[in-house]
Each structure stands twice: as C-alpha cells, then as structure tokens.
Structure 1
Amino acid sequence: MTSRWRRLSDRLAGKTEPEPLWAEGVPDHIDVPIRDWLYEVLRNYDMASPVAVRLKLPSRILKSRDPYNELANLDDRMNPMLRLEVIDATLGCVQQALQGTHWQHRQTALSYARQLEGILREGDSAFTVSEDGSRLERRMDETLHATYDKAVEAGASKTETAADHLRAAFTEAYGIKPDPSAAYSRAIKAVEAVANPLFLPNAPEPTLGKVRAHLEQGGHKYEMVISDKTGAPADIDAVVAMVSLLWHGQRDRHEGGPTSAPVTLEAAETAVHTAAILVHWISNGSIRRK
C-alpha cells in the first residue's frame, strides 16, 4: 500500500485522517486535467461518435465544429454524473475498438487509463479506473481491494467461473451505476462455483442453500487450518455463519414473501466482501476434511 501525499500544513499539524473523497461528478480542482485528458483520448482514437451514441447525447454535439471539444467540456449542473459517464463511456469504447489489435496499441490505451487514474487519485475522487482500464468504479479501501484481489486469484486457481462471478459482482456493486441485486446474485454464484464441487460433488442441483445445510449437519467432518484457543484445529462455525449470512441476506431472491425486500447497496457491498473471503478460504484449503 502506498502512502498518500499530504499538504505541508497538514503534516506540520500532525493530521493523519484521510481527505474526504469527492463523491459527485468531477470536482473543480481536477476539471482542467480531466478535460485535457478527455480531449486527447477522444481525438486520438476518434471516439466522439461512439461515445455520443452510447450515451444517447444530443445530435448538436456531433454537428459541432469540434465534437471532441464539445464532449470534453460537456457538463450539466442538473446531472453531475454526466462528466463521469462521458469518461466511463470513453474508456469502454476505446477498449472495445482495440480488441484484437496489436498489444502495443492496447498498452498505449492502458497507459492513458493509468494517467486518468493518477488524476482521480490525486484529486481525491471517489471514483477510480478499473484494473483493465475499461470503466470507472467507485473507489474501495485499499485493504479491502487487496482482499478482493487475493480472492479472485484464489478462485481462478480452482475455476475461472468463480473469478468471473466475483469480478462481475465487484463491478455491479462499485460501478458508477451500481446494481445491488445483480451484485448480490453474482456474489452467491462466486461462492457456489467453488463450494458446490467441494461439498456437494454428486448433487444434481447444488445451491449455496444446500451447501449451508450440508455444513450445518456435517460440520463435525470438517475443520479449519487455523487453531482455536486450545491449539486444536478450529471448527467451521464461522464458515457456516458466513454462508448463512450470505444465503439469508438475499431478500429479493423470491417475490411476495413477508420478508421480501430490495437489496440495498450496503448489503450488496457486504455480500461481495463476504463472498470474497469465502472464495479465498475454500479455494486455498483453509477448510478441510478431518
């Protein structure tokens, strides 16, 4: 984890708490570098038309004398997210246009994405560029992000499906237009991808709910690699509790029930991180048969 720069007055005052993140739009202090970055990328990759079409923007933009400049300066006080959507669409359109091209072209595009990430980070934006440079995401605490990265790596070592579901869950939870329901559903699928083959290898229709029941009834057959207070391998009560939390917390799985409710963004984020821990534990052998 890299240390963050602090202004001189804060260092002299011994200030240690992080600066608050700017959660809406592009703040004024990074407006100019963002505008310059957008203009250069839009022009160099001829992305005015794809971005305008993707965002369904007014035709006056493409009819203007300089559509790249129009897009780079596009702002709407009634919709502070519009600038971010232009950036997000630009990243996505560039990556799509470069699919199948020489790796040097893709590396150049990735360097542009990293340049943008530097601007957003130094400007304390609540948004960051995704690892593959294809989109914007809401910024996550670096420690939590490291846990997520480890889980994706561990999940991929067992099945790429788990890693794919976990990446999708993260994107749905932390994208600029989050979808909590989709994020929660993908989080459960990520755990199922590694848990079902391990705990229910012969089940015709395995689910996380059946994994939970199996572990509740047969928990005595398993143990953790970590020790309990006696020095013996710990039981799997913590695993059962986390699986139960994840399974029961998806209140939008079925409609019409007395406890049915939409999944909140906070619940979806918690589900993603719970799933990441479970995927990591199951994939790297932290839970084993006695």
Structure 2
Amino acid sequence: MPIRDWLYEVLRGYGMSTPVAVRLKLPSKILQSRDPSAELSVLNDRMKPMLRLEVIDATLGCLHQATQGDWNARRAVVSYAQQLEGILREGDSAFTVSEDRSGLEHRIDETLHATYAKAVEAGAEKAQTAGDHLRAAFSNVYGLKPDPSAAYSRAIKAVEAIANPLFLPNAPEPTLGKVRSHLDQGRHKYEMAIADKTGAPANIDAVVAMISLLWHGQRDRHEGGPTTAPVTQEAAETAVHTAAVLVHWLSTGSIRKK
C-alpha cells in the first residue's frame, strides 16, 4: 500500500502515466481508462513478477528525465525519492533508489557501497569522466535490468580516465592495456604508499595484478577469438569493485613514483 500510494501521487502529480506506459510498452487500455495513474499504481501480473518494480523504475526514470534543468522540480523529485527509499528500506526491500534517483538498483552492503562512493568522489576530483564512468558501471551492474557487458566496459573506462593521463600523458592512443605494460616494465620506478613487511614502501605488484585482472577479464571486448565469451554478472560485479579500488588508489596518490 505505501508503494501504491507513492506511485499514484507521483504519476498523477507530474503527469507521468503516459511516458511510463510508453517506456514500458504497456497495453493502450491503461491510458484509455478513467484514471491511468490509478491503473498503473496497482498494476500487477503473475506472469511478470518484476512488473511492479519496472513501473517504479520507469517512474523514477521518466521523472528524472522530465525535470532536468528545473531546479525547483528537482528538489521535489529528491523529496519523493527519499520517501520511496524510506519505504523500501523499512520494508527490507532488495532494491534501493539509485544515487542519481533515476531508477532502482539492487541493494548491496552499506560498507561496500560507501567504499564505491569514496572512489567516485576521489575519481571525480581528478577527472570528472572517471566518476561518471564509475557511476554508470555501478548502475549497469546493479540496476533493475543488469547489463554486465556495459558495466565491465564502463569500469575499464573509469580506470583509464585516471591512469592514462597519469602514466601515459603523451601517448596518442592510451589504453588500460598499455598502462599495464608500462607499470609491468617499470615496476622499479614506482612504489605504494603502504609499507611492506620490512617497513619500506611496498612494490606495485598488487596494482599490476589488479589491472591485469581487469584488462584480461573482459572476454567480450573482441569477437572471434578462442577465449571470447559473454561477461557474466559475477565477473562484472568483480570488475566494477576492482575498478573502484584502482580509481581510489590512483586518485589519492597511493601509487607514486620513487
């Protein structure tokens, strides 16, 4: 009932029934009813158990899109999103409102989410695109309809946004693979901010290993190879969080020249 009431208020108050129905390609009879907002707010289908969630997700998405650039409207959207998040949290929902309030995401451990948020903040301070790519990767992997391939691709781009200008400032076509080679061949030139067991700055073996894991793990980057394979959900989740750690380390000087 709280979700139903929230949906009805938002759909009716912002005229979102039509864009939501169109986005979800719902039957036209819904919009032809006396009160489309009421129809959508109670819409359910035993054959499509995710339909209610899809309506909520589409409502957030359409509302986010419709209020871009309107700061007064955006404040109201924030308020509605907070109301919804409160309902979901109190109801122990497996879903949460996304950071940009444009849809739903699978809820993850709060500590893990805080680590990701710190990485986004640190990355954005160095390169805005790093934060943007990391946010997109997170949404792609934890969204209502996950896209593992897109999530993995954006995870790599997030690291490249920081690593390419840092390690390959003059390269005409820098890639994460070239960064990996640069660090692999120049291990003696760099060190970590953290100490090893002797108390000296640790070597960058862990960084090279993580970048290698991220670079080689994207098995759908090229077609036709003997090891080409679709990116799994588990691989994409691993890639996104590996990228978050790398973005944070690279942005905060955890890897430095000797």
Q: Distance in 1 between matches of 2:186 and 2:74?
A: 50
Is the 1:110–1:132 Cα contact (8 Å) retained in structure 2?
Answer: no
Cα drift, residue 147 of structure 1: 0.8
The aligned residue for residue 92 of structure 1 is 61
Residue 74 (structure 2) aligned to one of 80, 84, 106? 106
- Residues matched between the structures, number: 258
The aligned residue for residue 82 of structure 1 is 51
> Which one-letter code corresponds to 1:34 in the other structure?
I
Q: Percent identity over the alignment?
A: 80
> Which one-letter code corresponds to 1:274 in the other structure?
T
> Which one-letter code corresponds to 1:199 in the other structure?
F
Residue 72 (structure 1) aligned to one of 41, 46, 54? 41
5 Å-filtered alignment, 1:1-290, equals 32-101=1-70, 103-290=71-258
Runs (5+) with no aligned partner, structure 1: 1-31
Runs (5+) with no aligned partner, structure 2: none
TM-score (norm 1): 0.87
Q: Distance in 1 between matches of 2:233 and 2:174?
A: 27
Over the aligned positions, Cα root-mean-square deviation in angstroms equals 0.9
Structure 1 residues 82-112: Cα deviation after superposition (integer angstroms, max 9, x where no partner): 11111011111112222222x3321111111
1:61 match: secondary structure: coil
Is the 1:222–1:235 Cα contact (8 Å) retained in structure 2?
Answer: yes
Cα drift, residue 132 of structure 1: 2.2
Q: Distance in 2 between matches of 1:36 and 1:122?
A: 16
Structure 1 residues 256-284: Cα deviation after superposition (integer angstroms, max 9, x where no partner): 11111100011001000000000000011
> Which one-letter code corresponds to 2:56 in the other structure?
I
Structure 1 residues 164-201: Cα deviation after superposition (integer angstroms, max 9, x where no partner): 11111111101101110010011001101100111111
1:62 match: secondary structure: coil
Segments of 4+ moved more than 3 angstroms: none
Q: Distance in 1 between matches of 2:129 and 2:237?
A: 20
> Which one-letter code corresponds to 1:45 in the other structure?
Y
